[in-house]
Structure 1
Amino acid sequence: MDDLESELRVPGEEQGENESSDDDESINRKRIKKPNLPLAPPLFKETPRETGFHKTTRNCLQHIREVLLHHKWQDAAEYMTSYSQTLEDTTANMPQLYAEIIWRIGTEILHHHPDSKLEDYNSFYERVKHSGVKHYLKVCLEHSFHLLVNGQFEDAKLQLSIAESWRYGKQSAGQSQRIRLIQAYSGFLDYFIWCDKKATASSTDEYDAAVNQEMHSYFRQSSVNLKEIMKLPGVWDPFVLSYIDMLEFYNDHEGAVKVLNDYAYDNSFPPNPNAHVYLYRYMKKQNHPLKKILKVLKILHTLVPSHELMPEYCSLLVQSENEGDLQKALGVVLDLLDYSSWRSNLDVWNHLMNIIKRLRMKKQWLKIFAEEMGYRKDWWLEIHFSTFQARKDSAENRELLEVKSFVVGAFCPRYASMYCGVGKAARKGVTSEARKAKRNPKPLRNIRRLRRERGQQSQD
């Protein structure tokens, strides 16, 4: 104990043989304190009025948590069978909490259990749905998701139809939002069924009026629900894409562009780069004017300067007849090169080289370049044209080394000589080592001889 106390004292502090109480208090204050970790509180605590049944279920839940941490799914399923008896407890004051625990843990066990079947999911969801009204709509939606993943479109549609017509008490704001989401997924399922009908119709050469009429019926049902959910602010990418697919099939291109424009430019919606990607791809597919396409990509560049469509945006700006678009293309390329994922991309450096070749035809092209360089001027050269980068480019991509040499040589010849010199020296060093190894293959032969000798010794 004395040694422990001495270790916990502040270094350099000495104590005499007669210690006072004040000194003891000061030492205790200087002891190492254990950190207070933010541990999650237990779901159920022991209470003075706890019955034997409640104590058993509490211990059962603890065992379930332990076996789940060790991925013992069979043991968890057996414990869960016993714990589900809490749904029949009439004395419990938290029946909704018990039902939610059984729903979430039971679903996790079914997802990971090796012997779980679709019938097990169906029976489990039906039981959980009727164990409490608070989670009825959520469970129905999750049940339909599982059926959808397993290709049971009709059954999933039935589950959503039941949930859509379900009402309990006064409709709250949260319940109204869930019902709208269920209606949207109902329209999404109608789209899947419409796709199946379309595939069936396209597989036969003969025109079938009944199949086409059925397809159109599913299109109307789906479009009504999908249009409603798109009126609410949010990210609705799968619903938008399915609706656009149907509109394009029926040659309603104006309606498709209007939907995509509203989805991309409505200020009440959260910023969504995908919305501008969908609009650009559709406009490109329909051969819209270049000016409108560049407008869409300009906003996408503002949202995500490193997007995979930015090289394409740069190419379109270079093709444009507008004189100022060449400077914009330079800015787009420089933005791309600020990100590590694009720094060794040969296509991007080729774009920059071609832009510089065209800019050099102008008198004040260095001023334009410096204007777009802006805040990068203090570190841009050190990042892209360092000695380390020169060795790396020389070893990995000789063509990239040449393109970058042209770029830096256009506006900074001093860096160009250094960068090219290091790259050539690194390349020459690699070549000379290869030539030495070719002229003097004795070390390689000695290694092979030693391996053969070791193999013979191991056999003996």
Structure 2
Amino acid sequence: MDDLDAELGVEEIHLDDIWHDELEGEAETAKQPSLPVKVQWDKETRFETGFHRSARVCLGRINDLLLQQRWQEAAEYMISYTEILEDTTTTNQLLACEIIWKLGTAILHQHPNAKPEDFNSFYERMKHTGVKGYLKICLEHSFHLLVNGKFDDAKRQLSVAESWRYGKVSASQPQMVKLVQAYRSFLDYFTWLKKKSSVSGDDDSDASAYQEMHIYFRQASVNLQEILKEPGVWDPFIISYVNMLEFYGDQEGALNVLKEYAYDNRFPSNPNAHVYLYQHLKKHDAPEKKLIQVLQILHALVPCHELMLEFCHILLQREKEEDLREALTVIFSLLDYSGWKDNLEAWCCLRDLLKLLKKKKLKRFIPEEWESRGPWWPAYHFRTYQAHQNFELNPELVKVKAVVAAALLGNRCIYCRTKNKLIAETRREKQRTAPLTRRTRGKP
């Protein structure tokens, strides 16, 4: 466990070590511990006061009760543990607020008698207890309200958080403020969707409803557009913005948003960005060359993506030498992954490609891909037990894989022999049961 914590960058902190650092005059330079934090409460530290010892023992007891799923008792101990907020050291208060927020939320979610007002009361108290965590707690509170179907209350929470100001504390959290604004705009997008579904667009009486819908579009688009200026993975926000732009006929604007999201180096590598761009191009009948360019990047990022099968079919239809060579790489890479081992369509694609390469006298491409796979593919795909499993799953799959195995390993490979044996046994079984079936049907 310690090795895992070290690899994840988890910092182990003794609560009393923080307190004693404060006592020794180091509080002014101490930084807030980065999360995730693993708090250790089961070891006594130097200069421990009775107050700190009680807090440490209480936190240890809460941990034990949570592991035993004794939620009522954990809630009672949590009430006692909140006394730790009376500690006057800033660093200790920040850490205690984080602990109470996370553990208290876990207890409330699991407690059988928890009521909605309990959640609201707890979140409101935590917002004003740990001011530095105000925006994060507002976000979590709004998520809780959304899960419980309280859309308007959730939106109200985000609006309050968006306008919240608390001196240097709020000024030092511009990224969190942008995230709150983005989620508030995301809810405006859902309101826009609801309004759009109620507007037919043909009746003059819908003019006011259409105008109201457009207001929500403007409200949502302002912050959703701004999110593109911040590096990050913003999939739902980007798709929402693109959907609205498409509705209002701004196809070029939607395409530019998706291109920027996929190709801007400021953003982390995100396969979904290329999927969204491909789907948009395909929807608007973009040239095949552009589709291939997007799929090539996606293949480099996720060789086992489900769109790789579609990519392979596109390359097969072109039948150019370089495209067939690339298709062979794509389909071999796809079948390297266990999730595709029993996929009939993928094996059919490889079978058809091998036949086409033979027909066009391009079999020289096969050894290039097979060289690195020869040592492990036979055991990975073409063992006896796999033939039996494939036959039980789908007899057609065995036949297709046998054609591929014969092309790669020869007709006498173990998979082909097993396939022939299984088919022969099935044929004999049918012959044995056929006369009995005819006699049964002939009885009066």
What TM-score, normalized to structure 1? 0.78
Q: Which residue of 1 aligns with 2:386?
A: 389
How far 1:433 moved relative to its partner? 7.2
Give 1:266-345 correspondences, 5 Å limit: 266-320=264-318, 322-345=320-343
Give 1:187-206 correspondences, 5 Å limit: 187-202=185-200
Q: Which residue of 1 aligns with 2:421?
A: 425
Pair 1:379–1:173, CA change in 2 (3 A):
farther
Are 1:385 and 1:415, in contact at CA under 8 Å, matched by a contact in 2? Answer: no
Pair 1:161–1:323, CA change in 2 (3 A):
same
Please, which moves more after superposition, 253-262 or 343-352? 343-352
Please, which moves more after superposition, 117-126 or 379-388? 379-388
Pair 1:336–1:46, CA change in 2 (3 A):
closer
Are 1:394 and 1:424, in contact at CA under 8 Å, matched by a contact in 2? Answer: no
How far 1:79 moved relative to its partner? 2.4
Q: For 2:274 and 2:423, how far apart are their aligned partners in 1?
A: 44
Give 1:50-449 correspondences, 5 Å limit: 50-51=49-50, 55-88=53-86, 94-170=92-168, 175-202=173-200, 207-320=205-318, 322-363=320-361, 365-410=362-407, 412-415=409-412, 418-429=414-425
Q: For 1:387 and 1:101, how far apart are their aligned partners in 2?
A: 55
**CA displacement 1:84-123 (0-9 Å, x = unmatched):** 3444566898333332222221111111112222221111
SS in 2 for 1:101: helix
Pair 1:213–1:370, CA change in 2 (3 A):
same
Please, which moves more after superposition, 69-78 or 390-399? 390-399
Q: For 1:49 and 1:40, how far apart are their aligned partners in 2?
A: 16
Q: For 2:378 and 2:91, how far apart are their aligned partners in 1?
A: 69
SS in 2 for 1:299: helix
Q: For 1:166 and 1:92, how far apart are their aligned partners in 2?
A: 22
Q: Which residue of 1 aligns with 2:34?
A: none
SS in 2 for 1:315: helix
Q: For 1:54 and 1:347, how far apart are their aligned partners in 2?
A: 64
How far 1:430 moved relative to its partner? 5.9
SS in 2 for 1:170: helix
Pair 1:307–1:174, CA change in 2 (3 A):
farther
Gaps spanning 5+ residues in structure 2: where? 1-37, 437-444
Are 2:334 and 2:340, in contact at CA under 8 Å, matched by a contact in 1? Answer: yes
Q: For 2:90 and 2:39, how far apart are their aligned partners in 1?
A: 23
Please, which moves more after superposition, 95-104 or 131-140? 95-104
Q: Which residue of 2 aligns with 1:31?
A: none
How far 1:434 moved relative to its partner? 8.4
Are 2:41 and 2:56, in contact at CA under 8 Å, matched by a contact in 1? Answer: no
Pair 1:358–1:156, CA change in 2 (3 A):
same
What TM-score, normalized to structure 2? 0.80
Are 2:262 and 2:274, in contact at CA under 8 Å, matched by a contact in 1? Answer: yes
How far 1:378 moved relative to its partner? 3.6
Are 1:190 and 1:219, in contact at CA under 8 Å, matched by a contact in 2? Answer: yes
Pair 1:377–1:247, CA change in 2 (3 A):
same
| Paired AA for residue 41 in structure 2 | P
SS in 2 for 1:96: helix
Pair 1:227–1:423, CA change in 2 (3 A):
same
How far 1:296 moved relative to its partner? 0.7
Pair 1:89–1:270, CA change in 2 (3 A):
closer
How far 1:58 moved relative to its partner? 4.2
Figure out how many residues of one structure are paired with residues of the other and give that number. 399
Q: For 1:111 and 1:204, how far apart are their aligned partners in 2?
A: 47
Are 1:144 and 1:160, in contact at CA under 8 Å, matched by a contact in 2? Answer: yes
Gaps spanning 5+ residues in structure 1: where? 1-38, 441-460
| Paired AA for residue 398 in structure 1 | P
Are 1:264 and 1:272, in contact at CA under 8 Å, matched by a contact in 2? Answer: yes
Pair 1:382–1:67, CA change in 2 (3 A):
closer
Q: For 1:402 and 1:111, how far apart are their aligned partners in 2?
A: 52
Pair 1:77–1:204, CA change in 2 (3 A):
farther
How far 1:429 moved relative to its partner? 4.3
Pair 1:350–1:46, CA change in 2 (3 A):
closer
SS in 2 for 1:375: coil
Pair 1:330–1:88, CA change in 2 (3 A):
same
Pair 1:92–1:281, CA change in 2 (3 A):
closer
How far 1:362 moved relative to its partner? 2.1
Q: For 1:43 and 1:271, how far apart are their aligned partners in 2?
A: 42
| Paired AA for residue 308 in structure 1 | E
Please, which moves more after superposition, 242-251 or 58-67? 58-67
Pair 1:91–1:313, CA change in 2 (3 A):
closer
Q: For 2:198 and 2:311, how far apart are their aligned partners in 1?
A: 39
Q: For 1:67 and 1:57, how far apart are their aligned partners in 2?
A: 15
Q: For 1:432 and 1:91, how far apart are their aligned partners in 2?
A: 84
**CA displacement 1:360-408 (0-9 Å, x = unmatched):** 2223x22122233342234434543333333433443322222233334
How far 1:352 moved relative to its partner? 1.5
**CA displacement 1:57-103 (0-9 Å, x = unmatched):** 44433332222111111222222233334445668983333322222
